[in-house]
Amino acid sequence: MMHHSLLRRVASLLALAALSSTAPARAQSQPAYDDFEVTLTILPPVASEVELLGLNDIAFGPVALGSADTIVPAQSDHFCLNRTTPGNVLVKFEQLTDADSGPGFRMAKGGEDYLPFAIRLTDPAGVDWPIERGVQFPTPRSAEGCDGTTAPNASTGHQIAVTPAPIPAGTPDGLYSTTIQITIAPAG
Amino acid sequence: MKMNTRFSAAALLCACMSVPALADTVPATQSTGQFELIVRVVPPVTPAVTIIGLDDIPLGTFQRVAGEALENQIIGHDDFCINTGWTGSTATYPGPLSMTVYQVGGGVSGRYALRGRSDPSKSLPVTLTIVGGRIGAESRPGGAITTDGSTLQMAPSFASCTAASTNLTFNAARITVTPDGVPADSDMADGALSAIFAIVVSAP
């Protein structure tokens, strides 16, 4: 660039001028000179944004009740808690239906019959987080590259495991359900 | 007295070269001899110094994060040769050499500094360290920190040093640029920064 060429010429002249001002009077070898430019760009912080990707419905399938408590295997799902900047993500699980049911989660049938369940969250580092309804907590963001598709999320994303409480014998049959909403925000 | 001694003005400059002397071969009460002095006067030889392979140093682009300082992440270097010789000779001048690094336009508060290309209020002090090719008291592991206009004593690179040589080979010199950190939430250095440095190497 012409601008830089001019600056470099000035640099050379300055260098020579400085040298000649200190050189002794006797004959001396011609000094060698060259120049180089150092460049650096620093960008101001960008706003921290978060995105939840890859969350799916969880279906337990038909459960046939036995004569005693029936154990229902846990179901899990992988998803991404992405953040555009380094730092943790604040997470809150809320149950949109059945608002007055207390701190625990539960599925309902017709507003009279319920099946409690627990949710655990595992972050990409393998740390387990028990979830309380409506309680916000920080967790590391998902690893870079977590894009919400199924396969890679096991290593880069978060995992939730939903475990229904054992279903007592005599529990009314029917369809039990609820909706859980996850809200995330940058932690700092 | 028989005396026939031939001197020339040039011969007076140096009596270090001679040819076989002629002498009387017959014994006598007096004897004389003669010899010739020859010297070739050539222009004074001076060390010749050349800088080879000095390149620009792009430090890259860094994204600041709110609430976090930017430090210990940015560093750059370049290797270059300081080759020497003698005028009219293929011999290598052994040194020592004096090297001075100037910042064009001067630094900030007595230090080298990158300046905002479009915003003169932006600046970031940098440290320049010279590694390798040094001699004397300033030679120490990790390199010598240079300041604007100060002089370092340097040893020449090996004669085979080329632009492709590194600090680990051929005794090439390495200049390392390390910017100061940027405190958290400081915009003192936001944007495109640059500085031009001139290196002058001379033989005493």
pLDDT of A1? 42
pLDDT of B132? 66
Nearest by CB: B49 against A10, A29, A87: A29
Please state the rounded mean pLDDT for residues A77-104: 86
- Global pTM? 0.58
Mean pLDDT is lowest, of A27-31, A183-187, B76-80, for A27-31
Instruction: Answer whether B114 sits within 8 Å of A40, measured CB to CB.
Output: yes
pLDDT at residue A3 tops 70: no
pLDDT of B22? 63
Residue B153: Cβ within 10 Å count: 17
Partners of A167 in beta bridges: A70
DSSP β-ladder status, A113-122 and A105-109: antiparallel
Answer whether B126's CB lies under 8 Å from B112's CB. yes
CA proximity to B152, closest of B173, B130, B171, B172 = B130
A130 touches chain B (CB under 8 A): no
> Residue A19: its chain B contacts at CB < 8 A?
100, 200, 202
Nearest by CB: A38 against B100, B190, B197: B197
User: What's the pLDDT band for B103 if we cut at 50, 70, 90?
Assistant: very high
Q: What is the pLDDT of residues B46-88, one digit of tens each?
A: 778 889 999 999 999 998 888 889 887 899 999 888 888 766 6
Q: What is the pLDDT of residues A128-144, one digit of tens each?
A: 888 999 899 999 999 88
Mean pLDDT is lowest, of A130-144, B87-101, B104-118, B182-196, for B87-101
pLDDT of B66? 81
DSSP β-ladder status, A137-140 and A88-95: antiparallel
Q: Choosing among A16, A36, A85, which should be mutated to test the B contact, i.e. which has the most B CBs within 10 A?
A: A36
pLDDT at residue B168 tops 50: yes
Residue B113: Cβ within 10 Å count: 22
